[in-house]
Chains A and B, each alone.
Chain A
Amino acid sequence: DTEVTQTPKHLVMGMTNKKSLKCEQHMGHRAMYWYKQKAKKPPELMFVYSYEKLSINESVPSRFSPECPNSSLLNLHLHALQPEDSALYLCASSRERRGQVSHEQYFGPGTRLTVT
């Protein structure tokens, strides 16, 4: 299984809502990532988990809260978002090994988020 799955595919939420994005992979990858991508822009890294521990937070606002319950699952909890947070949210995973250079990243199809 070489697939990263993300749910939901589309999400519309109000600024006062709380919602969660989910990501799952069964490739045995020990690094998982959240990216944000706006139209016609490159993906921008938000968070990196390595061996279920948060290793990188790219100064993301606290209204985005990541969680890695186990090595196969990654969540992104959303609360009090702003309309400018509307974007494609991508999850990715890779075969990190301690102390070794990153390998290629496998991306999910993304969740298209619209904040109204």
Chain B
Amino acid sequence: SQKIEQNSEALNIQEGKTATLTCNYTNYSPAYLQWYRQDPGRGPVFLLLIRENEKEKRKERLKVTFDTTLKQSLFHITASQPADSATYLCALPAGSTLGRLYFGRGTQLTVWP
């Protein structure tokens, strides 16, 4: 069965550094991958979508890579700020069924001053 792993439950970094979060998947080949941010007690907020034919995508201080050979996506936040502290979730489509997304367990990022 399909499996998504975000291999760090928590990541603590100093303000100004680059945070790198990892999402690995097994047993299928998704057409795209998404990253979401979730603050405590709130719904996830969409950040970026990267398709299988895109190696890299950027949005302001965010950068996502997608390596379909390694079955891995890396999510980078450059010049991190305390306001970036949140849980970051990767999500992949579950097969070809429209609307079905599987979410990883998330990585809780804490940026300290």
A residues contacting B by CB (< 8 A) are 4, 31, 33, 40-45, 48, 50, 55-56, 88, 90, 92, 94, 96, 100-110, 112
Contact = CB atoms under 8 A, between A and B. Distances in A.
29 contacts: A31-B99, A41-B105, A42-B89, A42-B103, A42-B104, A43-B89, A48-B99, A50-B98, A55-B98, A56-B97, A56-B99, A56-B100, A88-B41, A90-B43, A90-B44, A94-B99, A96-B98, A96-B99, A101-B93, A102-B99, A104-B49, A105-B44, A105-B46, A105-B101, A106-B46, A108-B43, A109-B43, A110-B41, A112-B41
B79 interface: no
Given A42-B105, A42-B106, A102 B98 contact: yes
Interface of B: 31-32, 34, 41-46, 49, 89, 93, 97-101, 103-106
A92 B46 CA distance: 11
A101 B32 contact: yes
Interface pairs A-B: 9 shortest CB-CB? A107-B43, A42-B103, A104-B46, A48-B99, A90-B43, A107-B44, A110-B43, A31-B99, A43-B103
A58 B43 CA distance: 20
Main secondary structure of the interface of B (DSSP, over half): loop
Contacts, number: 62
Contacts of B104: 42
A92 B32 CA distance: 19
A101 B32 CA distance: 9
Given A42-B89, A101-B31, A101-B32, A48 B100 contact: yes
Contacts of A105: 44, 46, 101
